[in-house]
Amino acid sequence: MDLSTRITVFLRSFSIQGSWNYRSVLGLGFAFSIVPLLRRCNLSAEELETALRRHLEPFNSHPYLVGIALGAVARMEEERETAVMIRRFKEAIRGALGSLGDSLIWGAWRPTTLLLALVLAWAMPSSWVPVIIFLIIYNSAHMILRWWGLRLGLEKGSKVGNSLENVNLSHLAERVRFGGTLLLGILSGVLLGSYLTGANAGWLWGILGIFGFGVGHRFGARAPRLSSLILVGVVGLLIVLRIQ
């Protein structure tokens, strides 16, 4: 697949949710995105029409990881895999891509970048800078993830599952969540410290937040309920002080 075709599919994948519906979910968007790749597979007009009809069937995935399925299916079409094998592959991979994307993006990356923006909003006088930094960091990562997924699918085809196991996106999501925990500890500390003792003491509570993160990372798995109660207590105290 030449670079221009990959870029076309990459750009089309951004609209894959634009035709979301209850009948095919992302099926229509998937078919629309894969058309340029199918046209490069040396299919006859009849084969191309049959392939498009097949890809209009129900399909679901995380929108940021759908490029993996797009690339892999295009590779399978190019290698003349049977319709049954392609359908089974799509049914097998859609659940994995959905759960991986939800864990990595919605459960880890987006909350962590938002917490980073909140910490920057507390530390910086300008409210626009944290917003701009958040948009750049968040969107740069998800665009890289989209392009990487498309490339991986094209290279590995039906064997892409083995490559996903080697990459271990679940472990990456866990590491991102650790960073979010650190930012949450810093944010809770500086907000509480600034309110109780003045803004000048916020740095001290930031250091304590980092220390608390280290302790929680080491022993937190043994007492998750205690960690949750401490966090809820900090937020509750801030609300009470604000009301008073």
Predicted confidence (pLDDT) per residue in 124-170, tens digit: 777 788 899 999 999 999 999 999 999 999 999 889 988 888 888 88
Contact 69, 62 (CB under 8 A): no
Using alpha carbons only, what angle is made at residue 134 by residues 147 and 132, rounded to the nearest 5 degrees? 105
Residue pLDDT, tens place only, 1-33: 788 999 999 999 999 999 999 989 999 999 999
Confidence of residue 232 (pLDDT cuts 50, 70, 90): low
Count CA within 13 A, CB hemisphere, residue 70: 37
pTM: 0.79
pLDDT, residue 200, reads 52
Residue 219 has a CB neighbour count (10 Å cut-off) of 11
At which residue do the structure tokens 């399909």 appear? 59
57: Cα separation from own chain's centroid: 25
Phi and psi, residue 10, nearest 5°: -60, -45
Whose tokens are 């910490």? That residue is 119
For the chain, give the mean pLDDT: 82
Tokens 């221009």, residue located = 4
Which DSSP letter does residue 80 get?
T
pLDDT tens profile 167-187: 888 888 888 887 887 777 777
Percent of the chain scored above 90 by pLDDT?
Answer: 38
